[in-house]
Chains A and B, each alone.
Chain A
Amino acid sequence: MGDSLSHLPQQLANGLTLGAVYALIALGYSLVYGVLRLLNFAHGEVYMVGAFIGYGVLSLLDPALAAGLPGWLGLTAMLLAAMLGCGLLGALIERLVYRPLRHTHRLAPLLGALGIAFVLQHGVLLLASARHRAIHAELILPAALGFELGSVRLSAARLLVIGIALLLLAALSLLVYRTRMGRALRAIGADPEAAAMLGVPVERVVSQTFVLGSALAGAAGVLVGLVFTKVWHLMGVAAGLKGFTAAVLGGIGSLPGALLGGLLLGIAESVSTGVISPTYSDLIVFGVLIVALLVRPSGLFGKRAQPKV
């Protein structure tokens, strides 16, 4: 055990990468839930599509990168394409599935979300086959690049992932707390009918929320490919579940909560894998989650549920 503690700092660094990705996914869940009280279970699949868009762009750019196109330009192209593509996909899903179901039975949108998840999984399966595909991240930056910080080794890829994730989070909080659109978004979350009466264009803001959350998931898909270098059509299932868990842990609907929940979950996963065993890591992580929710049922940053009149 003493031996395990000596590499705890490294496990924290590993967990931070994982956590940053979970946080990006969790934010999408929380944004949509905060506005619509809808659990968007297709979110993990949007993330998977983002990873595939990143894979596709990288494959297209492969010759250009080999010929000397700088890696950061390639990465920017991957991120932009995935965020744009996923944003569009999110808006489309909202328009075609969630909006028609919004004022029906409570469970209808949830089932719609599960249905969309299957459509996306199998759509990608048909288009790209079930083969696991490799992201050749070394085209963007060499895997061995990095530096030592005491006993901790930080690879450039991980630093980049954490950095970009933090940047996106900062941009999001500016958008939500400092812009007109953000105010409208929060207003709808507080009371959609009152917001509509006060002239907030509800449908448009809801669409924008989906674009935003899905774009973050797309970015997460690209970033995860840089470190874990593999994409396949079912990769969104586990990631979506972890993102959802992070959102619940942080208090679903709360943006700082999603960030903290994601980081905590990532670190808990890495430390339990590193100190105990990968076989039990999910057991430990979800065990901790259950205990945490027993102590704080509405999550770390969650508000107590208010009875709606």
Chain B
Amino acid sequence: MNRTPEPMSRRPELPFHWTLVLLLALSVVLAACGASGAPSNAPAAEADQERPIKIALMAPLTGGAAAVGEPQLNFVRLAVEQFNAEHGTNIELVEGDTELDPAKATTLAQRLLADEAIYAVIGPAGSQEVAAVAPLLAAADLALVSPSATKPDLTEQGLPNVFRVVPRDDVQSATVAQFLLQRLAATRVWLIDDQSSYGVGLVDAIEAQLRAAGVAVVRESVGQDETDFSALVTRMRADQPDAVFLGTQVASQGALLARQMQEQRVQALLLGGDGLMTEDFIANAGGATEGAYVSFFAPDVTNLPSAQPVIEAYTSRHGAVGPFGPPAYTAAMVVLEAILRASAEGPLTRAAVRDAIAQTNQAESLLGIPIAFDTKGDIQNASFFLYQVQGGAFVPAR
């Protein structure tokens, strides 16, 4: 044998799912050993001390929502790295792909449950995924902190392990209604939904609040494929509303409505929900959406002085910071900090971490707001944030 052994570093890295499979196999073997060696407790306790502490991320790393999952992963990696460096800990991150699919998220959750070294989960991203995995994780006392699921009823199921660092969709309607009532002092408002459950629910909630405040409301509903708003805009022109709110998942529709309002010279201010917070709303409008407002569930932290160290560390590796990353960083920090507190108070268990998360009380966060949860697991005092299109970009509204 005169072949020189290859240095370790040259060896190809195992693909991620193999790592998971290996981990799984290992945990099965360990569990079997634990069962056979049940009489002796002392070695188990010893193993406990050496056992690594892990947290898991469930995110859409591939597929149609990869644009959401990628910044979530990068920000969570950064959070774990920075936290370990600061506190001298060695917490590991297990990264799992859900493809924004509840079925895949369920399979992944089952694998994560089997790894007893995992003490909490960051994610999943989608509301439908959270709904699918929350009961499973709850049965094993494993907490989840979602960085992007906004559907209100997720935290209404009485599960003690569900948390989120972003506000619910019903907060969005309050943010929009408040802006219309207080900032614009609007007395006539048009509300248009896109006939989706998201659009109808959001616009219904806004309508209720505006009517309660005595605002004259005209409610309309158009399909997501509609391109001709001109007949509506003509009526709008005669009605002269102060503002028009469009609740749609199709951002290009917002651009079309804006164009056709401009065509007939309707002066009303255009507002939209988080579905409009994409480039299409600006690029497709040929300038017609300039000055329009959009509400979104995360603040723009890129200009926040307290966020600058994290932003700089992120941009030097991954480029520009989008809206979906910072909540994931915040969720990771919540989980990591809870593990630290729980291990200081006694033996580290999943239930102890879950309870520590519930008692989270961070005065500062990357999002620029304090982080604390109410008894349901919803973040307290979070609001949607209004952005205005200025100079062809979304700018936080003052």
Contact = CB atoms under 8 A, between A and B. Distances in A.
Contacts of A6: 238
Contacts of A230: 227, 252, 256, 284
Contacts of B235: 4, 7, 274
A212 to B, nearest CB: 26
Nearest to B251: A132
Contact of B222 (A4, A144, A229, A278): A278
A269 B285 CA distance: 25
Contacts of A53: none
Interface stretch (B105-113, B260-268, B364-372): B260-268
Interface stretch (A33-41, A134-142, A190-198): A134-142
A126 B225 CA distance: 20
Given A144-B262, A229-B284, A234-B225, A132 B252 contact: yes
A270 B262 contact: no
B237 A7 contact: yes
Contacts of A229: 227, 255-256, 259, 284, 286
Contacts of A144: 262-263, 265
Interface in B174-228: 195, 220-222, 225-228
A146 B265 CA distance: 10
A234 B235 CA distance: 28
A142 to B, nearest CB: 9
27 contacts: A6-B238, A7-B238, A10-B234, A11-B234, A14-B230, A134-B255, A134-B284, A134-B285, A134-B286, A138-B287, A143-B286, A144-B265, A153-B264, A155-B264, A229-B255, A230-B256, A230-B284, A238-B225, A269-B228, A270-B231, A273-B231, A274-B235, A277-B221, A278-B221, A278-B222, A279-B220, A279-B221
Interface string A113-153: 00000000000000000001010111000011010000001
Contacts of A281: 231
Contacts of B283: 134
Contact of A274 (B226, B231, B287): B231
B227 A228 contact: yes
Interface in A253-279: 269-271, 273-274, 277-279
Interface of A: 3-4, 6-7, 10-11, 14-15, 17-18, 132, 134, 136-138, 143-144, 146, 153, 155, 157, 227-230, 234-235, 238, 269-271, 273-274, 277-279, 281
A7 B236 CA distance: 10
Interface string B4-16: 0000000000000
Given A132-B252, A143-B259, A228 B228 contact: yes
B280 A7 contact: no
A10 B221 CA distance: 21
B227 A274 contact: no
A266 to B, nearest CB: 9
B284 A7 contact: no
Contacts of A7: 234-235, 237-238
Interface string B271-286: 0000000001001111
Which of B227, B255, B283, B285 has most A Cβ within 10 Å? B227
Nearest to A6: B238
Nearest to A145: B263
B340 interface: no
Given A153-B265, A228-B256, A229-B256, A136 B225 contact: no
Contact of A137 (B195, B237, B264, B286): B286
Contacts of B239: 3
B66 to A, nearest CB: 15
Given A273-B232, A278-B226, A157 B284 contact: no
Nearest to B288: A143
B379 interface: no
Nearest to B192: A278
A271 B234 CA distance: 10
B269 interface: no
A58 to B, nearest CB: 12
Contacts of B250: 132
Which of B221, B230, B285, B288 has most A Cβ within 10 Å? B230
A136 B252 CA distance: 12
B225 A134 contact: no
Contacts of B288: 143
Given A153-B264, A228-B228, A278-B231, 11 more contacts: A6-B238, A15-B231, A132-B280, A146-B263, A153-B237, A153-B265, A229-B284, A230-B227, A274-B235, A277-B221, A281-B231
B288 to A, nearest CB: 7
Given A4-B235, A7-B234, A11-B234, A136 B220 contact: no
Nearest to B285: A134
A144 B383 CA distance: 36
Nearest to A152: B234
Contacts of B285: 134
B31 to A, nearest CB: 46
A270 B263 contact: no
Contacts of B220: 277-279
A141 to B, nearest CB: 11
Given A10-B234, A14-B230, A273-B232, A157 B263 contact: yes
A25 to B, nearest CB: 14
A281 B256 CA distance: 19
